Amino acid sequence: MTRRDPRPIGVFDSGVGGLTVLSELRSRLPAEATIYLGDNARTPYGPRTADEVRTFTTECVRWLLGEDVKLLVLACNTATAQALPQVRELSGVPVVGVVRPGAVAAAAATRSRHVGVIATAGTVASGAYPSAIAEADDRVLTVQQACPDLVPLVEAGELSGEPVRGALRGYLGELIGRDAQIDTILLGCTHYPLLRPLIEGIAGADIAVVDSAFTTALAVEDLLDALGTRAPDSPSGDERPLAAAHRIVTTGDVGAFSLVASRIFGASLPDIEAVSLPAL
């Protein structure tokens, strides 16, 4: 029996990158309330040790669980790669990570069976993407490239211009130089879709670029349907849709966060809230 659940979906990222996942969730599931937490005070997670990533992620997840969410989305590839088992053990609600949906999309997109992954150093070191892509299709060869400069650039609002173009040319050149048969590039960090136009321009028309934001939203939708916990579409006997409530919270500077967030959500961006976790 379907039971409607109006509680929000919790979305976590190390900074602004997970807003790309949040945007897809809000587009695909307009009746669902959301609460987003970006740990901008401690971003980037990519260069940090696995223990640090697990500690920071579980601290943020505890905060979201305290807000009575019905489902958690780890919209951070590094957190998913390094901390997903710990989060699932901690959480009393279902948890969706971004690695598997992105891996499935990349395996389905490639025709040459050669996929390039660009990601943070932490995600690359974890080996999460090669494992997940092999699980989706063990005939696919995966080549990875760590891109340590990209998250700091995005967090600083640098979404165009020569610094980011130069960094991308270097990283993509190294990746494709190691495997000229790559026909699909997977954006293995949720910050990177904000650079997608530049990435596609540098990679060229013969290389498909995929990310996990859309497929993660699909996975969340499927899970809500399987559990029967979608939000009510409208009050009983009223055909007007309910206006879903959305909150965006950051541990860092509200102004800097808003600069990037406003480019994604425009006029629909809610007021950004600041939060100080006990560990901070």
For the segment 121-149, what is each residue's pLDDT rounded down to a tens digit? 999 999 999 999 999 999 999 999 999 99
Half-sphere exposure of 81 (CA within 13 A, CB side): 29
Residue of 16, 33, 105, 189 marked active site: 189
Q: Are residues 267 and 135 in the same domain?
A: no
| Boundary residue ending a domain (182, 212, 242) | 212
- 67 and 150 belong to one structural domain: no
Do 226 and 263 share a structural domain? yes
Known catalytic residue at 60 = no
Q: Name the residue among 217, 230, 167 with its Cα closest to residue 190.
A: 217
Residue-range definition of the domain harbouring residue 269 = 9-98+214-274
What pLDDT score was predicted for residue 1?
A: 46
Task: Confirm whether 73 is domain-assigned.
Answer: yes
Q: In this structure, what CATH number is given to the domain that contains residue 180? A: 3.40.50.1860
Lowest mean pLDDT among 15-29, 44-58, 253-267: 253-267
Q: What angle do CA 199, 39, 270 make, to 5 degrees?
A: 80
Q: What is the pLDDT of residue 243?
A: 66
pLDDT tens sequence across 172-220: 999 999 999 999 999 999 999 999 999 999 999 999 999 999 999 999 9
94 found inside a domain: yes
* pLDDT band for position 4 (cuts 50, 70, 90): confident
Rounded CA-CA distance 99/157 in Å is: 25
Please confirm, yes or no, whether 189 is among the known catalytic residues: yes
42, 106: one domain: no
Q: Does 82 map to a domain?
A: yes
- CA 96/CA 84 separation, integer angstroms: 9
Residue 59 resides in a domain: yes
pLDDT at 278: 77
Q: Do 258 and 171 sit in the same domain of this protein?
A: no
Domain annotation covers residue 1: no
Residues 232 and 265 in one domain: yes
Residues 204 and 143 in one domain: yes
Q: Flag whether 74 is in a domain.
A: yes
**Is 57 inside a domain boundary?**
yes
Q: Which of 33, 76, 164, 199 is catalytic?
A: 76
With a cut of 70, say whether residue 71 has pLDDT above it: yes
- Give domain status of residue 164, yes or no: yes
Secondary structure E strands in the chain: 9-13, 34-38, 71-74, 95-97, 114-119, 141-146, 184-187, 208-211, 246-250, 272-274
Question: Which DSSP category does 212 fall into?
Answer: S
